[in-house]
Amino acid sequence: MTIEPGQRLPEARFLELGPEGPVEVPSEALFKGRRVAVFAVPGAFTPTCSNAHLPSFVKAAGELSEKGVDEIVCIASNDPFVMRAWGEATGALEAGIRMLTDPDGAFVRALGLDFSAPPAGLFNRAKRFSMLVEDGELKVLNVEDNPGQAVCSTGEVLVDMI
């Protein structure tokens, strides 16, 4: 069952690459008392993710901040080393986007937003989506019908919805 606006996000543990190595980031610390824009991608360095989805949030970062978003978070099931490298290569880190990993896909599975595409080597990945979370409650959710497209889940669309 897919999470719906008005519901609370499940507890989760993400990973982020810190100065000394991978650091655990509990969902409560990420969302409690905060307004957070989250977008998830099937995989770092993949074409649609790198050429359309992530750049849309880099471009929309200022407008999201102006609309009261405390932080923008990108989630993928890659390891934290890959997420850091992808954030550096795309300018996402410089734009203030936090690059987190859902290593085994537990978070997206709990949301009902996971998929696998064995022919492409993708297992337990996030569907392409964006959401606005306020104090741990889902307010807005945009999920792409096709993981190879970034149409309804872009940064610009999220800006227009909040």
CA distance 82 to 132: 25
Does the annotation count 49 as an active-site position? yes
CATH class as words, domain 13-161: alpha beta
Residue pointed to by tokens 């409560």: 28
Average pLDDT, the chain: 94
Question: What confidence tens digit (pLDDT) does each residue in 107-124 have?
Answer: 999 999 987 776 777 678
pLDDT in tens, 86-106: 999 999 999 999 999 999 899
Helix (H, G, I), strand (E, B) or coil at 152: coil
Taking only the tens place, the pLDDT of each residue in 59-91 is 999 999 999 999 999 999 999 999 999 999 999
Considering the entire predicted model, what is its pTM? 0.94
Catalytic residue of the set 9, 49, 69, 100: 49
Q: Is 49 exposed, middle or buried (0-12, 13-18, 19+ CB in 10 A)?
A: buried
Q: Rounded distance, CA 21 to CA 138, Å?
A: 30
Whether the CA torsion 50, 153, 80, 118 is positive or negative: it is negative
**pLDDT band with cut points at 50, 70 and 90 for residue 138:** very high
